[in-house]
Amino acid sequence: MATAETMIPAKRLVWALATAGLIGVGGGAIGAAALQKTAAPTAASAQPDQPAPAAAVVAMAPSAAPAATPIAATVLPDFAQITQQNGAAVVNISVTGSVKTSRRSAAPQLDPDDPFYQFFRRFQVPGQPSQAREMPTRGQGSGFIVSADGLILTNAHVVRDAQEVMVKLTDRREFPAKVLGSDPKTDVAVLKIEAKNLPALKLGSSKDLRVGEWVLAIGSPFGFENSVSAGVVSAKGRALPDETFVPFIQTDVAVNPGNSGGPLFNARGEVVGINSQIYSQSGGYQGISFAIPIEVATRVQQQIQGGGKARHARLGVTIQDVNQSFADSFKLERPAGALVAGVEAAGPAAKAGLRSGDVVLKFNGQPIVASSDLPALLGQASPGETATLEIWRQGKREQLKAKLGEAGEPQQAKAEDEQATPAGKLGLALRPLHEGERRGAEGGLVVQDAGGAAARAGVRPGDVLLAINGTPVSSVEQVREVVAAADKSVALLVQRGPEKIFVPVRIG
């Protein structure tokens, strides 16, 4: 969509600056009166199968470099040729819709000294509720044609809440589009226009991309149709806050509001991703952009075409990042993996034997570094599939098999981290649970008072201590023994209301 963007909420990730956020680059809603001028270039001939010739040698291994590993010559792709071959299949998407706003029926906001103030007050109905009215909105984004009969891929947030979607080609023809389906979890939408013999883009593979490889984007930033920008792949498999099911391609390609839904090309002119988001403190491009891998998009497209909606696998766990304190507590070699804070009752993880305090190290053989890697890997699996989990439990590795369920509402919520500060003692006064205090807690000890290291870590009176370092606690003596034997830190599993969370507490 076009101009105003909505911040995607971040959940206190280490790498996220407090004032920065992830922003969809499809363009948000603008007022109906705010018009935006755009200019479309003439249509270029589409020759998707013609290879792009190399342009020039730009880097050679320096003669002074060690001869053991010479740097190969790097050849720039012909960006002009890629654009000429593919530009005609990139479209501009215009969206109109409406939003509800509230208006309170009351006397006009006039100064009490105004001579008309008392006059207008006569017509005010005391206690009259706010009245809602709809305000028209408009926005713009990008998309690209994937079949000659008018099938188009774009971002879900581009067409969110749309009442009318118009697609404009580079030859200036416009078509009303039908939204066949939209998947907010992956931010992919599929559109259809009634047209024939359209130029379609050739799809490649994001798996073949290498970090540092050249890529090119075509889209409509700020409504400027068929704008081209280029850069390199900065990282692969990037998991973002709340973007649970997508292992993003990170690039330094200039992407701005209106670029959302446009294609990301490799050096051979093949589509490897859909431009989706930027990481920004200002709302505009600041050097980091993210694209949805084309394999994710085509999978969603096939599901929408086949059944009208996308389906996602569900494991049924609440997870946390493993920091150094947790790694010390669970005797891990390094802080990596997804720490299981809670397991959904009777869910796929519970049936597989996964427990609170387990650390998931691998999913189907793929290593998990940050906890957000697990949902991204889960997004590549299918409901009903049997997944292999490598976990860390009680100081050793184990393997579990989990038959994945189907996601309805988002289940893989990340638990908020509680930061701990070094201290010498645990500082908890504990007592057994009374019968009326259980409130769903499966055993544990009530925190009667909290001080010292535990209080600084976030433990509060009234919390229920369920486990230490993954071992369920049943007595105060057991807690004393575990703490006395601990080296640097302990991980406390605490229940507060219905929520469970691991809290790292440094004691040495």
Angstrom distance (rounded) from CA 249 to CA 262: 14
**Cβ neighbours of residue 499 under 8 Å, at least 6 residues apart?**
342, 415
Catalytic position from the list 94, 260, 289, 489: 260
Among 187, 328, 358, 463, the active-site one is 187
Alpha helices in 65-162 (DSSP H): 79-86, 117-121
Q: What residues have CB less than 8 Å from 126, skipping those under 6 apart?
A: none
List 142, 157, 182, 328, catalytic entry: 157
At residue 218's C-alpha, the angle toward residues 214 and 219, to 5°, is 145
Interatomic CA distance for residues 98 and 102, integer angstroms? 13
187 is annotated as an active-site residue: yes
The contacts of residue 319 (CB under 8 Å, 6+ apart) are 338, 339, 340, 341, 360, 371, 374, 412, 414, 415
Query: CA-CA distance, 477 to 480, in Å (whole number)?
Result: 5
Report the run of H or E that residue 406 belongs to, with start and end: strand 405-406
State the greatest distance between any 2 C-alpha atoms of the chain, in Å, as a whole number. Answer: 92
371 is annotated as an active-site residue: no
Write out the two tokens for 267: 């050096």
Q: Are 356 and 319 in contact (CB under 8 A)?
A: no
- At position 260, the amino acid (one-letter code) is S
Asked whether 380 and 247 are in contact (CB, 8 A), the reply is yes
Phi, psi of 176 (to 5 degrees): -70, 140
Residues forming a β-bridge with 123: none
Q: Which of these, 490, 488, 461, lies nearest to 478 by C-alpha position?
A: 490
| DSSP 8-state class, residue 313 | E
Query: Can you name the residues that pair with 366 across neighbouring β-strands?
Result: 363
Using CB atoms within 10 Å of the CB of residue 180, give its burial: 0 to 12 exposed, 13 to 18 middle, 19+ buried. middle
CB proximity list for 476: less than 8 A, separation 6 or greater: 430, 431, 445
How many separate helices (H) and strands (E) can be counted in the chain?
8, 32
157 is catalytic: yes
Active site residues: 157, 187, 260
